[in-house]
Amino acid sequence: MENTYKQRAKTFLNRNFIFLPFLSLLFLFMVVYPQQISKYPQFIDWKTVLNLTGLLLVVTAIKESAFVGRFSRSLLIKTSTERGLALALVTLSALLSMVLTNDIALFITIPLTLGFAGIIENDLKKFIIFQALAVNVGSTLSPVGNPQNLFLWHQWGLSFFRFAVKMFPLFIVLLVVLLLFVRLAFPAKKLTFYTEPPKVRVNTRLFVLSFVLLVVFVASIEWGKALYALAGVVLLYLLFYRRVFLKTDWALLLLFVIMFVDFHLLSIVPFITRFVMHFDVHAGSDSFVSGLLYSQLMSNVPAAIFMSKFSTRWQAIAYGVNVGGNGLVIASLANIIALRFVGRKSVWIDFHKYSILYLTVTAVLVYMIFYF
């Protein structure tokens, strides 16, 4: 019995080890800034937490239905090679992130990727890593593609078309580099299929219900009615499919809550503010570099908000925080969402093998093309 508990504890820590640095930072802030503790609820973007709750429930249900595996098979037949499959998944993820935001795009495409488990022997981790990069790239183009763009779009009162036109050159650079990375990272070898894929019982009713709920919930987010939609989602699953709640990754929600508090407190640390003031952030090049670097420290959404207090160069800030969404895993919340789906500690290390190199290449290219 004791060994069982130890094994469970080890599994939990391996899956949730990303909690440790954020939780430690929160405890540090509690000691250093105890007067801020009562304000913690104000630091949390409850709208994002609410949206994420609904999406987690619905996507978990779709995954539990095992229906996605059927569609996965037809996609595998059409692509046939690792490189072809990677290009298909990257393209789909990038396109969806332009209109549905980067995190929602992941909730749609990653279950599709996970549906390949038991069908092919190829490692799925790398596909998911590149899907995370793809949604960061695709969402760059649209004002509604990611939270940092949405903030900057409203903050500077820009038209949708003007914002997209200004971001288009950056999008092209990031996309071309990403496609080159896909070509280099994925061989053109044939996919390896299991001779006898495991038989999985498909729950068609659960899939149909969950697919409808996904469409309704995404639409409700766009219409600003997500709270009512979430209530409906919770009620339906409570009545008919309670096991969905047991399978949902509630730890991810808790991680987001902690991160919101940590990132806000980081942005008010005096020495960080003084450090920013040493740069001439009114210059485009410095605004770009600062936005990129702060994204690695506090994620790109808080970095965009933070930089807007010091610089009026919205395009340089937008370029910096969008390029900076890659690199360290905390640079974009979409990265954490993607890797949490995998549930293996090794994926966090593998992610940085590609993301840091991709950040380095794109950051140098963008700086040389637009700010040198």
In DSSP terms, 117 is beta-bridged to: 120
Phi and psi of 164, rounded to 5°?
Answer: -60, -40
Torsion of CA 143, 369, 129, 17, to 10 degrees: -90
Whole-model pTM: value is: 0.79
Q: Give residue 305's Cα distance to chain centre.
A: 18
Task: Provide φ and ψ at 190, rounded to 5°.
Answer: -65, 145
CB atoms within 10 A of CB 193: 14
Residues 154 and 143: their CA atoms lie apart, in Å, by 9
Rounded CA-CA distance 267/305 in Å is 9
Average pLDDT per run of 10 along the chain, which is 372 residues long? Answer: 60 64 88 91 85 85 76 70 91 87 84 80 89 96 85 81 93 97 92 68 87 86 85 93 87 82 80 68 81 88 81 91 93 88 82 96 95 78
Q: What's the pLDDT score for residue 62?
A: 83
Q: Which two tokens mark 18? A: 């990303």
For residues 325 and 356, the answer to whether their CB atoms sit within 8 Å is no
